[in-house]
Structure formats: structure tokens, C-alpha cells
Chain A
């Protein structure tokens, strides 16, 4: 039962263009959504989050959009840079019996070409 899904395993974009990474979820009780970035042989690092009561959160080149009715969120990176090439994980927290655990999607590998 995969509550958080990232259906695109990979994405390739040109430097300077927009990268859009998508994530779908099934549990309407989630109260926070987070994006993590992971380089090879390193642990995931926190990028940006959004509360379920908001529909947009922006931090520099990174913007996360939340569409609660569609149970869908997306991460926009503008402009994309070669250093953004990494695996991006969507994660959700909250729900009944909230224990603080994060439920992760399977990740999308982003490649930004110079």
C-alpha cells in the first residue's frame, strides 16, 4: 500500500529551464509534505515543505504547489542548474496516530544538462 507515489522515475531538462517533479498521495489526513534531495552515497537532505492548509510555498528557485482536491503536489525548480541533478523524494507526514514518521515516494532522478 504505497501512500505516496512518484510515477516518473526520471526527468531530464536543459540548464536554465524549469524542472517539474510530481507526487501523488492517497491519505487525505497528511498534514505536511516535504521534498528531499539526495546525491549518490549521501543521505537525503531537506529541501522545502508545505503545510496541507496552504497551496504554495516558495524558497528561492524552489516552489512547491499543493492541490488537495487532486491529492497531488509538485516541485518546480526555476531555473534548473546542473548542480540540481539528484534524486528527489516526496514525503508526507501526519495522519491518524501521528508518530512523526515520514512516508516517502520512490524518488525521481533529475538530470540537468548543461
Chain B
């Protein structure tokens, strides 16, 4: 039973289109994240939500809009896609508290913008 799932796994689209990526976690965690892994393989935080409230927004273009309908879901909508948006997007979740903030990652969504 998958802990953090993402759909779709692969997404190929044209420049200028709008697309969404969905993420769901069944771990009961309060916090969810979106990370982007670019062509240089860096994994960088984009957004974080804690119990449906935005807590991290890392200088991401406003074409990217996360939405958290409930604490088990964090979706990512991207408007007016650009070539530079091509990357692998990972969703993650964690249960922050005292101690190490171990995050559990989904399998990733490979977005290709043509």
C-alpha cells in the first residue's frame, strides 16, 4: 500500500499549456511538500503545507499554484508551461515534531515541456 502517491508518473505537454500533478499520502502526516529535481539533479523545495496552510513558498513563479484540499492531499497546478519547467517533481510528507524531520517521498512525476 503506497504511502505517498503521485499522478501522473509521466507528463508530456506543449509550451503554454496548463497542467496539474496530484499527490496523496496515507501516513496521517500533517505536512506535505513539493520538490523539484532539475536537469542538474538538485532537489529543491518549492512549497510546504502544514494542515492545509502554506508555510513555505520558495521564490517559485506564480505560475505554480499548490492547493491542499485536505491534509492528505497536495496538488500542484502549473499555468502557461515553459521549457524550463521540465523536471521531475516530487511530493513528500512528514510529521514534524521534535527531532529529525524525516520526509517520505512519492515516486516523482517527470514533466516534459515541448
User: Min CB distance, A4 to chain B, in Å?
Assistant: 10
Option from B31, B55, B99, B104 in Cβ contact (under 8 Å) with A46: B104
B54-83 contact mask (Cβ, 8 Å, vs A): 1 or 0 = 011010000000000000000000000000
Chain B residue with the shortest CB-CB distance to A38: B105
User: Does residue B13 face the partner (Cβ distance < 8 Å to A)?
Assistant: no
User: Does residue A93 face the partner (Cβ distance < 8 Å to B)?
Assistant: yes
B residues in contact with A102, CB < 8 Å: 45, 101, 103
Q: How large is the interface on A (under 10, 10 to 19, 20 to 34, 35 or more residues)?
A: 20 to 34
Q: Is the CB of B48 within 8 A of A100?
A: yes
Q: Is the CB of A44 within 8 A of B100?
A: no
Q: List 21 A-B contacts (CB under 8 A).
A: A2-B42, A32-B100, A41-B107, A42-B107, A42-B108, A43-B4, A43-B90, A43-B92, A44-B43, A45-B105, A46-B103, A46-B104, A49-B100, A99-B48, A100-B55, A100-B94, A100-B96, A100-B101, A101-B33, A104-B42, A106-B41
A-side interface residues toward B, CB under 8 Å? 2, 32, 34, 36, 41-46, 49, 51, 87, 89, 93, 99-104, 106-107
12 further contact pairs, Cβ within 8 A, besides A43-B92, A101-B45:
A2-B42, A32-B100, A34-B102, A36-B105, A43-B4, A43-B106, A44-B43, A45-B105, A46-B104, A49-B100, A101-B58, A102-B103
